[in-house]
A = this chain, B = another copy of it.
Amino acid sequence: MKKIALTPVNSTRLINHGPVVMVTSGADKPNIFTAAWNMPVAREENSAIVALAINPDHYSYHLIKEHGQFVLNIPGMELLDMVIICGSTSGREIDKFKETGLTPIKAQAVDTPLIGECIGHIECIFEDEPRPGLILGRVVAASVAEDLFDECWKIEEVKNRTIHHLGGKYFSYPAERVISQ
């Protein structure tokens, strides 16, 4: 899947509509964590700030705090099984890249790897934790699958659409792109 770079400012468009992200953290022994609770917080002149809520008991929380960086990888629906596995197991017990067969790929600006099979990536440096488990990140690089994005996600051409978590075992994905008047 060919990826193109997005500016950090425009990276907010990857998660503007509320998809699940697969968060990678760590470097030598990276982990993967599934998170529905994420959002853009601010667009600045040359950067953007994103927020991620994560339980401080989780292994990924400690990796993010220890390494000071993380990546929000946006999966398409074809990765739903992997999203479930990474959201219901602990990196303390298993190597999630090995367990899922997902491919770690070198990032542009951080040491934490991207997930090659994901359709978008937001590379972040830890910025602040204003409340336990509420992580703010500064976006330093971003990329997206070339054929799936123009000024936003091209839903009508994306067979492999973003995943949205309704709660529990229920998920959804966007139906079509609607242009407002």
Cα separation A80 to B84 with both chains bound (whole Å) = 32
Tell whether A84 pairs with B170 under 8 Å between CB atoms, given A36-B16, A41-B131, A164-B17: no
Task: List which A35-75 residues lie within 8 A (CB) of chain B.
Answer: 36-42, 49, 51, 53
We find that the number of chain A residues with CB closer than 8 angstroms to chain B is 50
Whether B173 contacts A178 by the Cβ 8 Å rule is yes
Shortest C-beta distance, A89 to chain B (Å), equals 14
Q: Pick the residue among B36, B84, B155, B180 that contacts A169 (CB under 8 A).
A: B180
Shortest C-beta distance, A34 to chain B (Å), equals 11
Whether B175 contacts A174 by the Cβ 8 Å rule is yes
Cα separation A174 to B130 with both chains bound (whole Å) = 32
Q: Pick the residue among B53, B80, B161 that contacts A42 (CB under 8 A).
A: B53
Q: Which residues of B contact A153 (CB under 8 A)?
A: 166, 172
Whether B167 contacts A151 by the Cβ 8 Å rule is yes
Cα separation A128 to B134 with both chains bound (whole Å) = 13
Task: List which A119-147 residues lie within 8 A (CB) of chain B.
Answer: 128, 130-131, 133-134, 136
- A sample of 13 inter-chain contacts (CB < 8 A) reads A17-B36, A17-B164, A18-B36, A41-B53, A42-B53, A81-B180, A84-B181, A128-B130, A151-B170, A170-B177, A170-B178, A172-B175, A173-B176
| A contact residues vs B (CB 8 Å cutoff) | 12-13, 15-19, 36-42, 49, 51, 53, 77, 80-81, 84, 128, 130-131, 133-134, 136, 151-153, 155, 161, 164-181
